[in-house]
Structure 1
Amino acid sequence: MQPERRGDLLILAATLLASIGWLFSKEAIQGLPPAGFVGWRFLLAALLLLPFCYRQLIATPTELLVKAAAIGLVMTLNLIFWIQAIAHSKGIGEGAFIMSLAMLMVPPLAWLIFKEKPVRQFWLALPIALLGLLLLTMNNGLSLTLSQLLFLLASLSLALYFNLNSRFARRVDPMALTCIQLAVTGVMHLIYSASIEQWPDTIAPSTWGWFAASVLLATSFRFVLQSMGQKYSPVGNAALIMMLEPVWTVLISVFWYHEPMPLAKVLGCLLILTALVSYRSGNIMLWLRTRKAPALNKPH
């Protein structure tokens, strides 16, 4: 098999695991406190990655480690919104498409924080995405449900994370950076959980099974597959394949949770996907001219 094809398949497998991870998470928090679940999930995932990157961590200057940990605090905020949104939602498909809007929130935040004006493709994609979001959430009129609002806040904080991390990631080994940020996110969630959550007296074995799947498959193994795939898959292929995550998540939600998909919601999802493909395609063409790859890693 050609390396490029192998890379595409690895990215596709990582995207499928990311989608299934939404299901693992929602099922796990039926029996575990949400923040506690995220805390242990990410801390254990960091410990699993540690043997593969401890030498890189030792070689990294302390100043860079501190900055990496600080960006991990932004990831922590993102995961707090995300897991609470999942806890308050009936399905997961709608939330996955709202979260995918983070890619279109990156340019305006970069403009606001770093004075980098968005490219022309952003302004073309933005109205399409906004119309899609309106159709996706209009089942409640012009009001947002709590889960939709939390997903929007999670998407905004994820865009902030992308902005900060993409400007810092080239200075630290990718696996070491991920290990640090997973550990910080895990520890902060456990502190948060100890402050406000109460653990149940008994936890069903099935809940531990969902938890183990989240740690091993949806976090650690997914990261390994994604990292391996990005070595061989062209950045354009990887970016487009990874945009399939909300599509798989919707299909999983319809099958598992019988999430209703009226015509307006379907059209909303299609418009958001169209906006993302349009924007990503423009970014890919820009990358081909500048030879500067966009950041693709996601914490979820």
Structure 2
Amino acid sequence: MLAERRGDLLILTATLLASAGWLFSKEAITALPPAGFVGWRFLLAAVILLPFCHRALKATSPANLLKSAAIGLVMTLNLIFWIQAVMHSEGIGEGAFIMSLAMLIVPPLAWLIFRERPARQFWIALPIAISGLFLLTSGNGLSLSLGQLLFLLASMSLALYFCLNSRFARRVDPMALTCVQLAVTGVMHLFYSAAFEQWPEQVPGHIWGWFAASVLLATSLRFFCQSAGQKFSNVANAALIMMLEPVWTVLISVFWYHEPMPLQKVLGCLLILLALLSFRSRALYEWYRNRKAYKA
């Protein structure tokens, strides 16, 4: 039980760091080119993680390394949409909840790609999530703002990444897989930045502070805590704790950017959170039943 609690605490730390990463990124790209920022952030994070997984990388077959890199290209697409969405949005709270819908986009994608029919919980959660998304984004009428559209595209590409990665992740050490995919994402963004972006001649010192926090805390330490926590934390526990990331992000956005959260948006966020909980209800019930049986 002590190991499980330690795992839960590591997962909670990872969600807090991920939420803070939204703030670090938004502040950093006020002076840094978005793709260049993401490129250096992820490449440096991969270098920092390398000493912790170099043995696992050596033990991984070239074929699996190549497949890891290929899935990293999907992560690259996801980060392109995400950083552009962050740049075009005034706040980051509603974006975090839109991104959390990726969990509910995975089942239909798996159905389409791998012919895996979604569980009954998905069909219960779907109308709740759609209602929540409508309330969250209907401030502009029936049309989505550019930031909201980009966040939705980022959510879809993240779901595709989850769908492919979950099929492959068991074959490779989690830390090694993360390191390869971070490196691929970083290199691809730097290629894009070299071709289409221009770096400013001078960057204010405090911007480098946000950049360092993004690399060290929101990327390297976050993925380390997540990988370590998943070794000890119960699957249902981890899923439940990771659902809190958009909640922390909303609180950060309201505090830092004074993002308006009228009742309609609050209800939309609550409905999305309810949809995620109902989708995970079976896993949570199984965890509770097993825990009760263990105590007995």
Class of the TM-score when normalised by the shorter of the 2 chains:
over 0.9
Q: Does 1:33 align with 2:33?
A: yes
Rounded to whole Å, the distance in 2 between the matches of 1:288 and 1:71 is 34
Structure 2 residue aligned with 1:22: 22
Distance 1:239 1:273, change over 3 A: same
Shift of 1:230: 1.7
Structure 1 residue aligned with 2:60: 60
Runs of 4+ in 1 over 3 A off after TM superposition: 283-289
Shift of 1:226: 1.5
Structure 1 residue aligned with 2:215: 215
Structure 2 residue aligned with 1:262: 262
Structure 2 residue aligned with 1:186: 186
What residue ranges of structure 2 are gaps of 5+ in the alignment?
Answer: 290-296
Mean CA deviation greater in 186-195 or 219-228: 219-228
Structure 2 residue aligned with 1:131: 131
What residue ranges of structure 1 are gaps of 5+ in the alignment?
Answer: 290-300
Distance 1:106 1:286, change over 3 A: farther
Q: Does 1:142 align with 2:142?
A: yes
Residue 159 of structure 1 aligns to which amino acid in structure 2? A
Shift of 1:286: 6.8
Shift of 1:56: 1.4
Structure 1 residue aligned with 2:250: 250
Structure 1 residue aligned with 2:276: 276
Q: Does 1:96 align with 2:89?
A: no
Structure 2 residue aligned with 1:109: 109
Map 1:195-234 → 2, pairs under 5 A: 195-234=195-234
Structure 1 residue aligned with 2:11: 11
Shift of 1:13: 1.2
Rounded to whole Å, the distance in 1 between the matches of 2:2 and 2:255 is 34
Rounded to whole Å, the distance in 2 between the matches of 1:33 and 1:169 is 32
Q: Do the aligned residues in 1 keep the contact of 2:81 with 2:153 (CA within 8 Å)?
A: yes
Q: Does 1:158 align with 2:158?
A: yes
Shift of 1:9: 1.6
Shift of 1:287: 8.2
Shift of 1:235: 1.1
Rounded to whole Å, the distance in 2 between the matches of 1:151 and 1:286 is 32
Q: Do the aligned residues in 1 keep the contact of 2:175 with 2:224 (CA within 8 Å)?
A: no
Rounded to whole Å, the distance in 1 between the matches of 2:281 and 2:48 is 35
Shift of 1:81: 0.1
Distance 1:2 1:286, change over 3 A: closer
Number of residue pairs aligned between Structure 1 and Structure 2: 289
Rounded to whole Å, the distance in 2 between the matches of 1:113 and 1:195 is 33
What percentage of residue pairs aligned between the two structures are identical? Answer: 79
TM-score, with length taken from structure 1: 0.94
Mean CA deviation greater in 56-65 or 266-275: 56-65
Q: Aligned-residue CA RMSD in angstroms? A: 1.4
Rounded to whole Å, the distance in 2 between the matches of 1:32 and 1:58 is 35
Q: Do the aligned residues in 1 keep the contact of 2:135 with 2:264 (CA within 8 Å)?
A: yes
Residue 220 of structure 2 aligns to which amino acid in structure 1? S
Rounded to whole Å, the distance in 2 between the matches of 1:287 and 1:9 is 18
Shift of 1:91: 0.3
Shift of 1:228: 2.0
Residue 266 of structure 2 aligns to which amino acid in structure 1? V
Shift of 1:282: 2.3
Q: Matched residue of 2:116: which SS?
A: coil
Q: Does 1:79 align with 2:84?
A: no
Structure 1 residue aligned with 2:121: 121
Rounded to whole Å, the distance in 2 between the matches of 1:185 and 1:33 is 16
Rounded to whole Å, the distance in 1 between the matches of 2:272 and 2:248 is 15
Rounded to whole Å, the distance in 2 between the matches of 1:210 and 1:201 is 18
Rounded to whole Å, the distance in 1 between the matches of 2:83 and 2:144 is 17
